[in-house]
Amino acid sequence: MTKSAPDALPDLLTFCDGSAVTSAADWQRRREEISRLIVNIEYGGLPSTPGTTSLEVLHRARVCGDNSPHFVSCRVQTGPEAPFSFLLTLTIPQGDGPFPVVINGDACWRYVTDEVAGYVTDRGFILAQFNRVEIASDIHSAARDHGIYLAYPNGTYGALAAWAWGYHRCVDALITQPFVDPSRIAITGHSRGGKTVLLAGATDDRIALTTANNSGAGGAGCFRHQGPNSETLAGICHNFPHWFGPELEAYGGRENELPFDQHFLKALHAPRALLTMEALEDLWANPSGTWLTHCAATAVYDLLNVPDRINVTFRDGTHKHSPADWLRFLDVMEWQLCGKPKPADLGPNPFSG
Ligand code: GTR
């Protein structure tokens, strides 16, 4: 599975000064240490939080006919010092709510078909979609001369952090709305969008469930353990330098010197619900390394007595965010946030046991 055994992963339950984390109160302090390390070194920090965020409704229509969900186009607007805005579309089920919400920022990929949107509203959930590249471009050579970089010029944050900030602003705006249940907000994204939601969920306690699909390197995948044909730290920094902060690249080939690995990012979600979804033929996304970060992060969920809140699923097949993935995610959301029973089938796991 590995070319050579990786050094042990950095211990989540030991403070930087060597003392042990033994209680939930300790974990809150350790969480701050961990958050500073990984968010700053890997992602270049986050853009600052605006003083205000508002939601302006621009258009409202029925999806198809009188009894169908509402399709609402909105603008998320930050202010007052650093005005920046982007579009958010809401597909809202019939009824008065308040409804749980699923936020997805991958509108640039258009894989959320009408069928998938219907799956979300059929469960009684709002689907909230935005296009993360409105916030920061995903062109590889992108200079910091556009979008959020103009409104929030300070810092060294990369595009993943800028996109994660977009999720945070959607949450700001949505929780002010009477038709939204602020205690049941889920976020989901695929691949680079999965890396984004892991960072967004790790840094915002208002998000009750984070689901990253096939997120790989810089997401759920382990830097120290490279499964066959998986993406390396050096490779991803070379090909996508604009995604990360400037410090990460130096760890290419020196992964064992990183003061974290991706189990830190996962553990930052605890005790909130986390689901990472992997595909067994998506070797580039390092499914076996994802299993390692999952196992390591469970230590924190166990400490907090919520072992069921962290889950990983594997399915056959390749890299995609398929309708079947959405159905599995929605089953887990109903389990984690709505009191429904645990789904009977979470897929095969060739790595356990
Ligand atoms: C790949 C990249 C992966 C993953 C993927 C995607 O080319 O190497 O890390 O993010 O793109 O986002 O589709």
Q: Is 217 in the pocket of ligand 1 (CB under 6 A)?
A: yes
Q: Give the distance (Å) from ligand 1 centre to CA of residue 101.
A: 26
What residues does each domain of the chain span? 6-338
320 CA from centroid of ligand 1 (Å) = 11
CA of 262 to the centre of ligand 1 (A): 16
Band of pLDDT at residue 154, cut at 50, 70 and 90: very high
Q: Is 131 in the pocket of ligand 1 (CB under 6 A)?
A: no
Instruction: Name the average pLDDT for the chain.
Output: 95
pTM for the model stands at: 0.97
Do residues 56 and 75 lie in contact, with contact meaning Cβ atoms separated by under 8 Å?
yes
Q: Is the peptide bond before 98 cis (omega within 30 degrees of 0)?
A: yes
Q: Which has more confidence, 1 or 48?
A: 48
Among 231, 242, 318, the mutation site with the greatest number of ligand 1 atoms within 8 A of its Cβ is 231
From ligand 1's centre to the CA of 252, what distance in Å? Answer: 17
**Given this model, what pLDDT does residue 65 score?**
80
What CATH architecture does domain 6-338 belong to? 3-Layer(aba) Sandwich (3.40)
Q: How confident is the model at residue 1 (pLDDT cuts 50, 70, 90)?
A: very low
Atom of ligand 1 nearest to the CA of 190: 12
CA angle, residues 351, 352, 353, in degrees to nearest 5: 120
Q: 5 falls in which pLDDT band (50, 70, 90)?
A: very low
236 C-beta closer than 6 A to ligand 1: yes
Confidence of residue 140 (pLDDT cuts 50, 70, 90): confident
Number of the ligand 1 atom closest to the C-alpha atom of 319: 13
Point out the ligand 1 atom lying closest to the alpha carbon of residue 191. 12
- The predicted structure's pLDDT at residue 6: 53
Ligand 1 atom closest to Cα of residue 218: 9
Is any ligand 1 atom within 6 A of the Cβ of residue 191? Answer: yes
**Whether the CB of 216 sits within 6 Å of ligand 1:** yes
Say how many Å lie between the CA of residue 191 and the centre of ligand 1. 6
Cα(195) to ligand 1 centroid in Å equals 10
pLDDT at res. 142: 77
Ligand 1: does its nearest atom lie under 6 Å from the Cβ of 192? Answer: yes
Using the mean position of ligand 1's atoms as its centre, give its distance from the Cα of residue 239 in Å.
Answer: 10
Q: Give the span between the Cα atoms of 93 and 96, in whole angstroms.
A: 9
pLDDT tens-place string over residues 283-301: 999 999 999 999 999 999 9
- pLDDT bin (cut points 50, 70, 90) of residue 316 is very high
Judge whether 209 and 333 are in contact, CB under 8 Å.
yes
**Whole-number pLDDT of residue 216:** 98
Distance 87 CA to ligand 1 centre (A): 24
pLDDT band at 134 (very low <50, low <70, confident <90, very high): very high
Amino acid type, 178 = P
Residue nearest to atom 13 of ligand 1 (CA): 191
β-pairing verdict for 84-92 and 70-79: antiparallel
pLDDT at 136: 97
- Confidence class for position 2, pLDDT limits 50, 70, 90: very low
pLDDT band at 282 (very low <50, low <70, confident <90, very high): very high
pLDDT at 110 over 90: no
Q: So what's the pLDDT on residue 298?
A: 98
22-80 per-position pLDDT tens digit: 999 999 999 999 999 999 999 999 999 999 999 999 999 988 887 888 999 999 999 99
- Which ligand 1 atom lies nearest to the CA of residue 195? 10
pLDDT reported for residue 21: 98
Kindly tell me if the per-residue pLDDT of 128 is higher than 80: yes
Q: pLDDT tens digits, residue range 209-243?
A: 999 999 999 999 999 999 999 999 999 999 999 99
Percent with pLDDT over 90 in the chain:
92
Ligand 1 centre to CA of 96 (Å) is: 39
Give mean pLDDT, residues 127-138: 97
HEC per residue, the chain: CCCCCCCCCCCCCECCCCCECCCHHHHHHHHHHHHHHHHHHHHCCCCCCCCEEEEEEEEEEECCCCCCCEEEEEEEEEECCCCEEEEEEEEECCCCCCEEEEEECEHHHCCCCHHHHHHHHHCCCEEEEEEHHHCCCCCCCCCCCCHHHHHCCCCCCCHHHHHHHHHHHHHHHHCCCCCEEEEEEEEEEECHHHHHHHHHHHCCCCCCEEEEECCCCCCCCCCCCCCCCCCCHHHHHHHCHHHCCCCHHHHCCCHHHCCCCHHHHHHCCCCCEEEEEEECCCHHHCHHHHHHHHHHHHHHHHHCCCHHHEEEEEECCCCCCCHHHHHHHHHHHHHHHHCCCCCCCCCCCCCCC
